[in-house]
Amino acid sequence: MPIEVENAFFSISPYIMRYDFLKFAFYDFSKTVNSCYFTSLKTVESLKRKTDLTKCYPSHCQ
């Protein structure tokens, strides 16, 4: 590899590393957001079910 190309590569390599880091950070972040979102959806659904059950309980189930 010519020395100019090597120098150019070394001058941009920190940016490439930073890009990789950002990519991984963003991936982790989106994974976290997705899991939080799905967890909250499940929680909301189970809460709805619970309220349905409590609504049903006094009148129908006794």
Q: Give the CB-side neighbour count of residue 24, counting CA atoms within 13 A.
A: 5
Burial class (CB in 10 A: 0-12, 13-18, 19+), 14: exposed
pLDDT (0 to 100) of residue 4: 82
Give 1's pLDDT tier (boundaries 50, 70, 90): low
Residues of the domain holding 34: 1-62
Give 62's pLDDT tier (boundaries 50, 70, 90): very low
Contacts of 9 (CB under 8 A, 6+ apart): 1
Residue 61 pLDDT more than 70?
no
Secondary structure class of 62 (helix, strand, coil)? coil
pLDDT (0 to 100) of residue 55: 62
For 8-51, the pLDDT digits (tens) are 777 777 777 777 777 888 888 888 888 878 888 888 888 777 76
Number of domains in the chain: 1
